[in-house]
A and B are shown apart, each in its own frame.
Chain A
């Protein structure tokens, strides 16, 4: 059974551009959450979705948005990219309290 898959693995964007990151959860997991990890720090919670509904949102600006599709995959969108958005973006799928993480998308904004 495939784990949590994220795409792309690496991405370079220019300030002001928009980016879409994708995540496919483990089969049977209906909850997907997104995290931002800046170099040298622990991950920070961005969003959680369950059954296609937003269940939680971290302290991130409105430039960050997400959605979950009927097949439980998810997209994270970031508009008007800033240099400070450069980070590893992690997706996790979960069943009850157990989490499985993807390998992340490393976003570099130049």
Chain B
């Protein structure tokens, strides 16, 4: 069956460090992989999208990698700040059917 796993339900890091979140999947062939941020009581907010033929995408302090051989995406936040504390969701997009991982709750401590 199809499965999306975000390793680490929770991740705590110190301000200024790089946070690395992992998304692994099985039995999927996504055309796109997306990352979202969700704050408590709010809807997810789109951060980055990477296509199956792209290895890496950057946006400001964010970086996403996508390895279709390993079936894995890594999401990095460099120079993390307490304001980056939130739950981060990965989503696999295949033919308009987008499925989400359960998310990783990131806490950045000052």
A, B from the same assembly: no
Interface set of A (CB-CB < 8 Å, partner B): none
